[in-house]
Amino acid sequence: MKKLLTLFFCLCALGAHAQDPNFYIFLCFGQSNMEGAARPEAQDLKSPGPRFLWMPAVDYPATDKLPARKMGEWTEAIPPLCRPNTGLTPADWFGRTLVASLPENIKIGVIHVAIGGIDIKGFLPDSISAYIKKAPGWMKGMLEAYNNNPYERLVTLAKKAQKDGVIKGILMHQGETNTGDPKWAGMVKQVYDNLCSDLKLKPEDVNLYAGNIVQAGGKGVCIGCKKQIDELPLTLHTSQVISSDDCTNGPDRLHFDAAGYRELGCRYGEAVARFLGYEPKRPHIDMPKRIEVPADAVTAETAIPGNEFPKVDKEHRAYFRIQAPQARKVVVDICSKKYDMQPDGKGGFMAVTDPLPVGFHYYFMNIDGVNFIDPASETFFGCNRESGGIEIPEGPEGDYYRPQQGIAHGQVRSIYYHSPNSKFGEWRHALVYTPAEYELAKNAKKRYPVLYLQHGMGEGETSWAIQGKMQHIMDNAIASGEAVPMLVVMESGDIKQPFGGGNNQAGRSEYGATFYPVLLNDLIPYIDANFRTKSDRENRAMAGLSWGGHQTFDVVLQNLDKFAWLGTFSGAIFGLDVKTAYNGVFANADEFNKKIHYMYMNWGSDDFIKSGDIVKQLRELGIKVDSSESAGTGHEFLTWRRGLHEFIPHLFKK
């Protein structure tokens, strides 16, 4: 019998759930800053290991990264600790700080119940029913997650947790909703007393740690609450206030940002460690990499006025900055390279590039996989859409495309014209440059030659005027006498949309070919009818960059009765057999040279489209073609600005 009793008690002992005195449990409650309003970053999502556990107060569904987690079951403390879709909280780095500060045989557990915007009455059993009836609609779902009684949920789980470990403290972050309420401290004491009574806690062993509010340098939305929190120990002597001095915040000045939650959480942990008799040790926190902006860096001319960034330094490095407090990863994509932007811990991100080539460059930012335009940048149509852009300035050698004082300036006019031949709508848009003298009364009857100037694939009718600075190039060249006064017409050319495939060898184009009948039958007649032009072929030129150069070859070489001047800049001309192309237009060099008074082709030394071979083949046939290679530039607007500048002095002169 004695042996049977011994066996029975052994079996009971094995079945019993033994409380671990080295498992320290902390209750966390409050409103939105305890709930967590900042998106966890990569370092927050790394598991702190089995020494920091968390008992969820609600069920968590499975995600692509984590399995489902059940209410009331201990699991490793990985955010969000409050409810699914909440954020980083002070409890996250509170637990990590205790793990770093306390002996390795001690585990830390947290139970977390918080509701954004909740009044302290929401944690008083006698007040919760009345409070729920008056709660705003946006809060009702959060209350329902705790079965409309957050205090009861906290106590129920705490009693379950006491079977596993020992409650060592209570963390609170609440007060913003009760700013200025003289009864707040007394109600906090009532919540604390209720917890101690219901959980049979000794107040002298279990402090209440109350975190202070967002200060935002004295401009916090609830800054008036700071004093009442600081004075809480006058009402509740077992409370300790956790300072929020210099804890960084989000742009709403109501919630901390991720860095602020980390700092405040560490301070909670340090206070508890000291109370427990241990020297606090902070866990490793990845600090943002500080990007130093040199004093010589200046705001880019392409920035929207009022913005400090983007900036460019004397080494041609570009500096970008953006506020994106909810972002996990931000990238800036420029000049075929992507740069990870570094968080500054205050909701901002910064990046610095390698030295960039001088000239204009499109760029995009990317937040969590989605491209967008830098809100600090002027927009430029390119890459088949509106884009950000930055100008990396040249020295004085770039003055030819900058506006100059002391000279007359022309105009760039916006026109709409009717086009029955258009595939993309009968009303079309174009820009027309008129030289300064066009407006003078003495020239009221004077007529002018016309250059039809096309942009490249994925750009628009505004590209030459804005990115290419065409107006300034024309004004300066005309003022200096390098170029004769002329009109310049710029149209979309039906190549704004992405390349659609098909046959696009020279003379057999599909992409952008819908523009050809529009140009010949609608646009040219409109310009000649509405502007004072010289409307014969001798006074009409066409040129284009990239695919606009392709279009120029297609149009001019098949319509020599309408054009006598031809230019391409990085012309996208493929599959060209110079002996047979365009019905053998180059076969009779003498005849061609009589009809085309000047032919010019340029490209960049680093360009992926070069015309050197075509130029060589044409010259071998006896075709007169001028050419140049832009030193140090690629397939970009600086190449094309240089090309236009070199091309126009030769136009309409014999």
Phi, psi of 352 (to 5 degrees): -125, 140
Respond yes or no: is residue 173 known to be catalytic. no
Phi, psi of 165 (to 5 degrees): -155, -165
CA distances for 378 relative to 314, 375, 446, 464, angstroms: 22, 8, 37, 16
Respond yes or no: is residue 418 known to be catalytic. no
Annotated catalytic residue within 173, 255, 597, 635: 255
Please give the torsion angle defined by the CA atoms of residues 438, 442, 448 and 453, in that order, rounded to the nearest 10 degrees: -10
Annotated catalytic residue within 32, 101, 244, 419: 32
CA nearest neighbour of 393 among 354, 338, 355 = 355
Respond yes or no: is residue 509 known to be catalytic. no
| Residue 332 near residue 320 (C-beta atoms within 8 A) | yes
Q: Bridge-partner residues for 171, per DSSP? A: 28, 209
- Count of all residues that appear for the chain in the document: 654
CA distances for 652 relative to 539, 557, 602, angstroms: 6, 18, 19
- What is the C-alpha to C-alpha distance for residues 597 and 361, in angstroms, rounded to an integer? 34
Write out the H or E segment, with its range, that includes residue 551: helix 547-556
| Residue 44 near residue 88 (C-beta atoms within 8 A) | yes
Alpha helices, H only, 164-257: 184-198, 225-230, 232-235
Annotated catalytic residue within 252, 368, 399, 613: 252
The SS3 assignment for 389 reads strand
Q: Is the peptide bond preceding residue 435 cis, with omega within 30 degrees of 0? A: no
The amino acid occupying position 192 is Y
- What is the C-alpha to C-alpha distance for residues 123 and 227, in angstroms, rounded to an integer? 22
- What is the C-alpha to C-alpha distance for residues 524 and 227, in angstroms, rounded to an integer? 75
Phi, psi of 478 (to 5 degrees): -70, -45
Token output for 316: 């041609």
Token output for 648: 């126009």
Catalytic machinery residues? 32, 252, 255
